[in-house]
Structure 1
Amino acid sequence: MATLGVSTVTGQTRILSCIAPGELRLSTTSLGVCGPNEVLVKVLRVGICGTDIHAFAGQQPYFTYPRVLGHELSVEVVAAGSPRDLDMLGRKGYVIPYLHDPDSPASRRGKTNCCERLEVIGVHRDGGMSDFLVLPARHVVPSDLLDAEQLALVECLAIGAHGVRRSELRAGETAVVVGAGPIGMGVIQIARARGARVIVIDPNSQRLAFCREKLGVTEAVDPREHSVEEAVAALTDGGLADVVFDATGNPDAIARGFALVGHGGRYVLVSLVKADITFHDPEFHRREITLLASRNATREDFDTVTRLMEAGALAEREMITHRAELEQMPAVMAHWCAPATGVIKGLVHVND
């Protein structure tokens, strides 16, 4: 395997590529180059998220084919290209998959999550559905306390942590989370950790049950059974939400979410849709709603999640409902993407 100072790494690695919508292909290729300020990592686990599902379905707006999927990664560092990174060798960690330009205006303002020249591994460049991967050393964060499965879920939960931080949610405020998928579950858990009251909206009864049983949610609304606006109004004595978080990825749901925001409240769009969003401007102004986009996460959000994980304050393990080996994924992926399968978080085992 590679050693410090050797830039050309020899050997082969398996890669799982999405070569077209609905089609994954497992192949092998030569290992890449581990240069200065880079590390070679062995991929341990890969979490499957909405971005992967949308890319597989041909609905990801920033995606081109073919592409190696995978950005929710736990890894082990096996080689380093610079002396200062030697202390990372042999350590497990998570990956911050948002490769930013430190000299860009956004990055200089600390907004590395939405850098003008941002590249997300597994989206804009090949990701972690492979045995080995070369990454910038600064994007691999070692952890001696969390295991491989926990580390693979840090990025997913950091998305929720970033949205909550963007909202400036305070203890005692009411947060309505629309969409109880993995991202919404991250928002729920971080919001509750901040001391907020959380109301969850989702048409999937299994996910609402999971939120009640595993995440401590006591107020949940199924829009198939109730008018969401009337239900939220009844639960808040007419005041509606201090903050609404959309995690649906559904443009119609996003448009309807404006009606759930109380006067002076905030609306945070955590999900991304390939559509235009419209709202009724007079009502938007009457309530003086603050509208916020929330993209990716920063190191501060990752640190929030790892701190809560280490304290046992999150239910990250319970979110893992399905597991598969890398070589099984061409046959399994379509099944995992089907809502009836009941997947909350699928986890791909790549290496031990």
Structure 2
Amino acid sequence: MIQWRRGVVVEVLSSWAGAVEYAVRLPSGDRVRALGYVDAVGVLAPGTVVLLNTTALERGLGTGGLAIVVAAPDVLPRPVDDVTAVRGHVVKARYTPSQTMVLGVDEQDSEHHAALADADDLAGMPVVVADLHSALPAILAGLREVAPDLRVAYVMTDGGALPIDFSRTVAALRGAGWLAASVTVGQAHGGDLEAVNVHTGLLAAHHVVGADVTVVSQGPGNLGTGTRWGFSGTSAGEAVNAAGTLRGRPVCSLRISEADPRERHRGVSHHSLTAYGRVSLVPADVPVPRLPGGLGRRVLDQARELCGASGGRLGLHEVDVEGLDAALRDTPVPLRTMGRGYDDDRAGFLGAAVAGRYAARMLKD
């Protein structure tokens, strides 16, 4: 079900890329944080009456715990061109009230259609695959520590947020020049390029963006049910398959934690073990950080078991972590994963960073 509320914009709290966060007062007098996408509702002034979707907020969800501005009923819509004259016919969030039409990078009206019409090969481009969106800046830190001039694309799948404008992380990384372009695939939308699926997203990253390396992960927020198979991160295994099928070089970024209160995510998360061990079916590299003490032994043992059970499909590569602390503390965005910062769960960010370091070294070898 959807929980609707009316409210009045009180003030603008912050803004980034194509999103604005407002303070909105409800009829009860309570103030809530509400996110409005500029492409959908424009920029709203204080005093504007808005219709909100408060479903996730009222359920107390983490990443999704914001009200979403659906419409400003008393504000005239911005004039737009006749939709029949707009280039592109790829519909995202299909058959929902918020469906939007975009120009796909490879569709007939695109200037890149000819380049992608028969594209079928990534020519060995490294593709770093991660479960959580929060791994993205850490992977980039590891890449840049080895080779700061690499051209990097980000492919965002639809396992989490659908609008890429929800991500402050992507906006900041683009602004800092750490990402050359973003590509949104599946039902996700709003990237520099739009693609139908992970395969066309990767091909666009290589043939259109000219990326040296591509990182793939779901958007902010992820879904998990505490069951063996019920989590959105299975898409990481599917992305590995896509990269390998297209003759890229898949690199599996392990989800690691030393602080998660749930045992199934301690050391190497069961998400990584399932996605890479059971969902992915093509050869891939698994960089493992050399961590000290009992945690390091646990992570290495779990990674050895993962790769050993693959029959040689997954290659284990131990990677040193010296120098990565400085690189991770110098990212243009705050490092946070599942509510924890760098000092709370250092191993998690090092696990992502060594995947970036390994991918960059692949290009130097």
TM-score under structure 1 normalisation? 0.30
TM-score under structure 2 normalisation? 0.29
